[in-house]
């Protein structure tokens, strides 16, 4: 298109070094923070090769750019993790050159993949995750569009470290930052207007003087004055738009602090780093403010925040269906939430400040759920709490609430929903269970398949047996009349072993502390006959 | 439904959430709770055809109830609009966002990039950290000759 031509022209203009080196063919991807182009280049080896040129948005901080490059150079280039060939810069324009891997559209192939291909896909995803996690990289945006898959070549590549964060012991130097020992809340205005239920909103106005005094007053004596009640039409809320799903992590806070919310301060003095958070259409920046020491009060810590105030007042609303001007005047907790809504783990959705590589494993579980159920995207939510509610309908509300307690969150949900049996759920959604009408593209032809395919296996079928069956099916397919059979072939979907659902269950573990790791996943019986 | 409980302090205004809802609060009770009231609590829908999400709303009936937020959930900056507007094929000229280099928001990407402040940053030494990494790469490209002769080697000048 004309638009694309113009984009390509502009890229050549912005980074003139590209001019005689690359023939830029087309734009193949556009995100909030970058555009990706397909290009060819003549290498000194004599071959002309296809390359992917990733042009980063020039508003990216150099440290972010450098961190992304470091992830690619240190962790990339093997075990299905995308590597980097070169990088060009002119002023604020940076172009990362990567090998190009032609890949499928996940949605297009989702319902044509054989069960064996799904097994291979997951195995290769875990290889990539094991590698990046080994380096202490939390990817934060694991999803099909960031895991390139070439079905024919059986090649895979985990891409895009634009949102990556480091674990406390990360081996990626640029993902390290000084650890703040306390997770910040942020009060960004003096007069937060807080809509209450039923279109009622509370206007909490605290004059600066009072706010300042409160820092030296016992909290229980604190009175929020000037509270107003206004009738107001409840806002239609959306955090981020459906189209712009990615919210970038807090810059300058790419590390996960090791603050535990259940940890109680006993010292009389506490050092608090104050920060101001600005959140503007999916990019956040955290600026460190000067360190202020405040007194810990017997009944909670009163703090002055960068702009406005923060009072840690206790009210009666905790774990009830109530909210009041006291709890709503508290600071919002700041926790990383970059990523794509439907792939966010429960601890991300509930703003848990300590997030680990386990969030990537949850995302891998969501991909697996899509593969097993034939649905993509599996969850469809434009905000975090809708996403959490959808998770509850699959994993159970009681279970979700229970798990949240372990990472310091009180979740209250009026709806009691039972956990689904994962096999039943996936088979129903895929349409491979007996009690379900088949979708048109899966109409079994005659009775050929029934008479020749192996009898349904026992529930407790060992992977060994499964392996043999797959082999049996394969050799069967390659026999005479293969074409005729193919139409009837269930591609292994009529015998998904229990191990598949057991692994899915461990990936979608609501408790990040016990959730399966990439290393463990590769050892799971589901992959019994595969070499890590 | 509002009430003034005699419990805490007299000026505390309390609201009750309407069923069905989800409310989340840190157990330290040091932070603001966040919550969402649903018109209809999400449910699995097996009737939507593959490959659609089982949470896909039934073909958007005009009367389809919409969910409402009652708290400015995850909007640390409440002076912000509720999410980004639904942009139709977005004009390149109307890209707003946040510049990490300048530490400020902008209404229009292109205009901001041309601004003096950003240009100063763009030409600054801040990018050394990037150049340092680049310096370790091996340049393996051969330049295409403009007039399509055989490719010639380029001097590595970065």
- Comparing C-alpha atoms, which of A192, A149, A118 is closest to residue A470? A118
Structural domains in chain A, sorted by start: 1-100 (3.30.200.20), 104-181+319-432+492-531 (1.10.510.10)
More confident residue, B25 or A253: B25
Token match 């529930």: residue? A459
- CB A132, CB A359: distance < 8 Å: no
pLDDT at residue A433, rounded to an integer: 63
Chain B residues with CB-CB distance to A85 below 8 A: 137, 140
As a whole number, mean pLDDT of residues A505-521 equals 98
Q: What average pLDDT is seen over chain A?
A: 75
Which pLDDT tens digit goes with each residue over A24-79? 999 999 999 999 999 999 999 999 999 999 999 999 999 999 999 999 999 999 99
At A197, is the secondary structure helix, strand, or coil? helix
- Using pLDDT thresholds of 50, 70 and 90, give the confidence band for residue B10: low
Which pLDDT tens digit goes with each residue over A194-225? 445 444 444 444 333 333 333 333 333 332 23
pLDDT at residue A407, rounded to an integer: 98
Which residues of A are known binding-site members for ATP? 54
Q: Which residues contact A447 (CB under 8 A, 6 or more apart)?
A: none
Angle at A221 between CA A215 and CA A225, to 5 degrees: 85
pLDDT at residue A248, rounded to an integer: 60
Q: Which residues contact A193 (CB under 8 A, 6 or more apart)?
A: A201, A202, A203, A230, A232, B72, B78
Distance between CA atoms of residues A139 and A163, nearest Å: 7
Rounded percentage of chain A residues whose pLDDT exceeds 70: 64
Rounded percentage of chain A residues whose pLDDT exceeds 90: 61
More confident residue, A349 or A217: A349
Which residues of A are known binding-site members? 54
Distance between CA atoms of residues B76 and A260, nearest Å: 21
A1 in reach of chain B (CB within 8 A): no
- Using pLDDT thresholds of 50, 70 and 90, give the confidence band for residue A531: confident
Crossing angle of the two packed helices A422-430 and A358-373, in degrees rounded to 10 = 50
Per-residue pLDDT at A472 exceeds 80: no
Which pLDDT tens digit goes with each residue over B17-38? 999 999 999 999 999 999 999 9
Q: For residue A490, give both structure tokens.
A: 């269930």
Per-residue pLDDT at A513 exceeds 50: yes
- Using pLDDT thresholds of 50, 70 and 90, give the confidence band for residue A336: confident
- Between the CA of residue A369 and those of A394, A453, A486, A494, A512, what are the distances in Å? 11, 26, 25, 17, 18
A 26-65 → B contacts, CB under 8 A: 32, 41-45, 57-65
Q: How far is B23 from chain A (nearest CA, A)?
A: 5
pLDDT at residue A295, rounded to an integer: 26
Q: Is B58 exposed, middle or buried (0-12, 13-18, 19+ CB in 10 A)?
A: exposed
Per-residue pLDDT at A461 exceeds 90: no
Per-residue pLDDT at A125 exceeds 90: yes
Q: For residue B115, give both structure tokens.
A: 């601004």
pLDDT at residue A337, rounded to an integer: 80
As a whole number, mean pLDDT of residues B148-155 equals 47
Which pLDDT tens digit goes with each residue over A386-398? 999 999 999 999 9
Distance between CA atoms of residues A74 and A39, nearest Å: 24
pLDDT at residue A119, rounded to an integer: 98
A258 in reach of chain B (CB within 8 A): no
- The sign one gets for the Cα dihedral A258, A264, A270, A276 is positive
- Count CB pairs under 8 A between chains A and B: 400
Per-residue pLDDT at A368 exceeds 80: yes
Q: How far is A79 from chain B (nearest CA, A)?
A: 20
- Using pLDDT thresholds of 50, 70 and 90, give the confidence band for residue A466: very low
pLDDT at residue A35, rounded to an integer: 97
Which pLDDT tens digit goes with each residue over A10-24? 999 999 999 999 999
- Using pLDDT thresholds of 50, 70 and 90, give the confidence band for residue B12: confident
N- to C-terminal Cα separation, chain A: 44
- A408 conformational bin, left if phi > 0, alpha if psi -120 to 50, beta if neither: left
Per-residue pLDDT at A277 exceeds 50: no
A231 in reach of chain B (CB within 8 A): no
pLDDT at residue A355, rounded to an integer: 97
Q: What average pLDDT is seen over chain B?
A: 76
- Out of B35, B109, B141, the one facing A21 most closely (by C-beta) is B141
Q: How far is Cα of residue A362 from the mean position of the Cα atoms in its chain?
A: 8
More confident residue, A283 or A400: A400
pLDDT at residue B59, rounded to an integer: 53
Per-residue pLDDT at A463 exceeds 70: no
Per-residue pLDDT at A341 exceeds 90: no
More confident residue, A349 or B153: A349
pLDDT at residue B145, rounded to an integer: 81
pLDDT at residue A489, rounded to an integer: 74
Q: Which residues contact B48 (CB under 8 A, 6 or more apart)?
A: B54, B56, B58
Q: Catalytic site residue A92?
A: no
Which pLDDT tens digit goes with each residue over B85-97? 333 444 445 789 9
Most confident of A271-275, A502-506, B2-6: A502-506
pTM of the model: 0.75
pLDDT at residue A208, rounded to an integer: 37
Chain A residues with CB-CB distance to B92 below 8 A: 3
Beta-carbon separation of A405 and B13 below 8 A: no
- CB A194, CB B14: distance < 8 Å: no
Q: How far is Cα of residue A259 from the mean position of the Cα atoms in its chain?
A: 21
Beta-carbon separation of A42 and B69 below 8 A: no
pLDDT at residue A275, rounded to an integer: 31
Q: Which H helix or E strand runs over B36?
A: strand B34-37
pLDDT at residue A158, rounded to an integer: 98
Alpha-helical (H) ranges within A135-258 are 208-214
Chain B residues with CB-CB distance to A253 below 8 A: none
- Out of B5, B35, B151, the one facing A323 most closely (by C-beta) is B35
Which pLDDT tens digit goes with each residue over B106-115? 999 999 999 9
Beta-carbon separation of B71 and A89 below 8 A: no
């Amino acid at each position: 298109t004309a638009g694309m031509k113009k984009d390509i022209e502009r890229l050549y203009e912005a980074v003139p070094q590209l001019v005689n080196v690359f023939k830029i063919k087309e734009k193949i991807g556009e995100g909030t923070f970058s555009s990706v182009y397909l290009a060819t280049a003549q290498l000194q080896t004599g071959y002309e090769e296809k390359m992917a040129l990733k042009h980063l948005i020039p508003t990216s901080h150099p440290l972010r750019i450098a961190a992304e490059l470091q992830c690619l150079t240190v962790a990339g280039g093997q075990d299905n993790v995308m590597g980097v060939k070169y990088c060009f810069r002119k002023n604020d324009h940076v172009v990362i050159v990567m090998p190009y891997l032609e890949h499928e559209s996940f949605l297009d192939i989702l319902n044509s993949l054989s069960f064996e291909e799904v097994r291979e896909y997951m195995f290769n995803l875990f290889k990539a995750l094991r590698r990046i996690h080994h380096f202490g990289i939390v990817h934060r945006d694991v999803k099909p569009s960031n895991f390139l898959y070439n079905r024919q070549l059986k090649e895979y590549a985990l891409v895009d470290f634009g949102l990556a964060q480091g674990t406390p012991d990360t081996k990626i130097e640029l993902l390290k930052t000084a650890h703040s020992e306390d997770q910040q809340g942020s009060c960004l205005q003096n007069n937060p207007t807080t809509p209450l239920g039923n279109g009622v909103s509370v206007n909490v106005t605290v004059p600066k003087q009072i706010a300042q005094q409160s820092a030296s007053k016992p909290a229980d004596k604190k009175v929020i004055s000037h509270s107003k009640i206004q009738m107001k039409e409840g806002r239609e809320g959306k955090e981020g738009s459906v189209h712009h799903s990615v919210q970038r992590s807090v810059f300058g806070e790419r590390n996960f602090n090791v603050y535990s919310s259940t940890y109680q301060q006993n010292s009389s003095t506490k050092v608090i780093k104050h920060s101001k958070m600005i959140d503007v259409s999916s990019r956040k920046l955290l600026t460190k403010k000067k360190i202020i020491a405040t007194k810990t009060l017997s009944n909670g810590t009163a703090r002055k925040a960068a702009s406005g105030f923060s009072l840690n007042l206790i009210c009666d609303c905790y774990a009830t269906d109530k909210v009041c001007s006291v709890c709503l005047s508290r600071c919002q907790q700041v926790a990383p939430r970059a990523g794509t809504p439907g792939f966010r783990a429960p601890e991300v959705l509930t703003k848990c400040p300590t997030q680990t590589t386990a969030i990537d494993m949850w995302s891998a579980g969501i991909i697996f759920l899509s593969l097993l159920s034939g649905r993509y995207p599996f969850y469809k939510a434009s905000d975090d709490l809708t996403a959490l509610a959808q998770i509850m309908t699959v994993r159970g509300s009681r279970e979700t609430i229970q798990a949240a307690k372990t990472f310091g969150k009180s979740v209250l949900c009026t709806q009691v929903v039972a956990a689904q049996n994962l096999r039943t759920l996936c088979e129903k959604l895929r349409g491979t269970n007996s009690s379900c009408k088949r979708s048109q593209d899966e109409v079994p032809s005659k009775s050929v398949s029934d008479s020749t395919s192996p009898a349904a296996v026992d529930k407790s079928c060992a992977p060994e047996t499964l392996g043999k069956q797959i082999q049996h099916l394969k050799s069967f397919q390659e026999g005479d009349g293969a074409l005729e059979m193919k139409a009837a072939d269930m591609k292994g979907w009529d015998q998904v072993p229990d191990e598949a659902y057991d692994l899915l269950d461990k990936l979608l573990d609501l408790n990040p502390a016990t959730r399966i790791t990439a290393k463990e996943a590769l050892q799971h019986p589901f992959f019994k006959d595969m070499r890590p | 439904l509002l009430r003034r409980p005699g419990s805490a302090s007299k000026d505390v205004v309390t609201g009750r959430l309407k069923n069905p809802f989800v409310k989340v609060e840190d157990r330290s009770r040091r932070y603001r709770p966040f919550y969402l009231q649903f018109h209809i609590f999400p449910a699995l829908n097996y009737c939507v055809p593959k490959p659609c999400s089982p949470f896909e709303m039934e073909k958007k009936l005009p009367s389809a109830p919409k969910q409402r937020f009652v708290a400015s959930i995850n909007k640390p900056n409440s002076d912000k609009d509720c999410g980004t507007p639904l942009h139709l094929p977005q004009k390149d000229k109307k890209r707003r966002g946040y510049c990490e280099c300048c530490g400020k928001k902008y209404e229009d990407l292109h205009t901001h990039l041309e601004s003096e402040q950003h240009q100063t940053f763009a030409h600054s030494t801040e990018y050394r950290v990037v150049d340092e990494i680049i310096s370790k790469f091996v340049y393996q490209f051969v330049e295409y000759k403009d007039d399509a002769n055989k490719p010639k080697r380029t001097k590595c000048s970065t």
